[in-house]
Amino acid sequence: MYNNGIIGGIIKHEREKLGLDQAEFGLKIGASQSQLSRYEAGKKAVPDDIISNIIRLTKSVTLIQTNAVIRKVALYNIPPLNNIDTHIMTVLHVFEKESLEAADAALQMRNLCLNKRSKEDFKPFEYEELLKHIEQMVDLYSAINVLTLVAHDQFGVDPDEIAKRLTLKYIDKKYIK
């Protein structure tokens, strides 16, 4: 029920941002006013097709990311973002710091993994070091999520546009075909 309430609160916020009442919003997303009322109140889980319709209509990055975490389809469950200072300068400072730390961890991990193919190739203290490096690199995931949310909310940056640009960049760099 707790997760339903989180999603419901986001849906209500997004609906109100659009200036629509529950009946109007429900019509646009394929739900009745009474169904939407139960979703917003957290009394009923929102079906995947309705979530998809809401995301398409609102383009809510907050809903995309929260839904992914709650449904455990995100790579990692990030800490609650509602307690983080979302001033763009703070977000950029955190992102810069985490990026530098992740880059350093990647370099150290590269040396650590040289000539190793499986867990058995690591001594216990090396494996613990490996975990610490991975943890440091995964810290960047939270920073990226917060940066994406803030860029969308404050500047209207469309995450789908960023995804398209990344795909083209990765094709150009021959990371993907």
Please write the tens of the pLDDT for every residue from 78-109: 555 556 778 899 989 989 999 999 999 999 99
Q: What angle do CA 146, 152, 157 make, to 5 degrees?
A: 125
CA–CA gap between residue 130 and residue 133 (Å, rounded) = 5
Please write the tens of the pLDDT for every residue from 43-78: 999 998 999 899 889 988 788 878 877 766 555 555
Instruction: Say what the pLDDT of residue 110 is.
Output: 96
Instruction: Say what the pLDDT of residue 72 is.
Output: 64
If one counts every other C-beta atom within 10 angstroms of the C-beta of residue 57, the result is 15
Which residue in the block uniquely carries the two structure tokens 């490996």?
A: 130
CA–CA gap between residue 2 and residue 80 (Å, rounded) = 14
Is 64 within 8 Å of 159 (Cβ atoms)?
yes
Domain boundaries, the chain: 2-70, 81-172
CA–CA gap between residue 112 and residue 127 (Å, rounded) = 9
CATH number of 81-172: 1.10.287
**3-state SS string for 118-135:** CHHHCCHHHHHHHHHHHH
Superfamily of domain 2-70: lambda repressor-like DNA-binding domains (1.10.260.40)
In this chain, the answer to whether the domains covering 2-70 and 81-172 adopt an identical fold is no
Residues 6+ apart with CB under 8 A from 11: 36, 39, 40, 46, 54, 63
- Better-predicted residue by pLDDT, 43 or 163: 43
| H/E element, 59 | none
Q: Is the pLDDT of residue 36 over 70?
A: yes
Please write the tens of the pLDDT for every residue from 105-153: 999 999 999 999 999 999 999 999 999 999 899 888 878 888 888 888 8
Q: What is the DSSP letter of 154?
A: H
Collapsing DSSP to helix, strand or coil, 85 comes out as: coil
